[in-house]
Amino acid sequence: MDKLETGMAYRLVLIVAPQGAGKTRLLHQWIQRRSTMGLPAPVWISLEEQDNDLAQFLQHLVTTCIEIDPHLLNLSQSLRHVEELSEKQVNRPALSMPGEFNSEDLLIDLINALAGLPREIALIMDEYHRIESPEVHQTVSFFINYLPENVHVYLASRGEPRLRIAHLRARREIIQIGPAELFHSSR
């Protein structure tokens, strides 16, 4: 659990272990511990198969981030565009939706809004192994790569995610927790 708290010094905390290894349990214990210490609780996204749809994923991400601070509601105009796209079920290329919506613009607005918050934020994305969409992987990579220093993503998955994070490893901006650490933390 100490690695989770230490994770607040990293851009990305990657928790990779097989089903039943205790990823979610460890995260819940960490949240409980933070709560007893009077620290702000992380926000949590439980990813589902529907989040492979880029518009659905963005809607899920933005609504979760609004839980952090109600002032992020100014992103609701961008969120309305996401909802409209989700309803239309149009064929959308990664990050660029010419003429209608640009998900990169929404992410930049979200990143800038998060940067303006006066505290450290932990965003947990649980069940990331459910994401298979290259567009969503690209979007998450973009989001993580441009996060402000006060935001930290905790990503739990059954397998190594297909994200562009090699440069994060090279710059030591990522910490990884595997099955062995999960086993030792559950004792």
CA distances from 49 to 28, 122, 136 (A): 22, 23, 12
- Mean pLDDT, the chain, as a whole number? 84
Tens digit of pLDDT for each residue in 109-149? 889 889 988 889 999 999 999 999 999 999 999 999 999 99
Q: How confident is the model at residue 83 (pLDDT cuts 50, 70, 90)?
A: low
Q: Is the dihedral of CA 87, 89, 95, 100 positive or negative?
A: negative
Contacts of 6 (CB under 8 A, 6+ apart): 175
Helix pair angle (134-145, 54-66), 10° resolution: 30
pTM of the prediction?
0.84
Two tokens, residue 182: 């999960």
Going along the chain from its start, the domains and CATH numbers come out as: 2-185 (3.40.50)
Spatial distance between the Cα atoms of 63 and 129, rounded to a whole number of angstroms: 21
Tens digit of pLDDT for each residue in 58-79? 989 988 988 888 777 676 566 6
Spatial distance between the Cα atoms of 27 and 4, rounded to a whole number of angstroms: 8
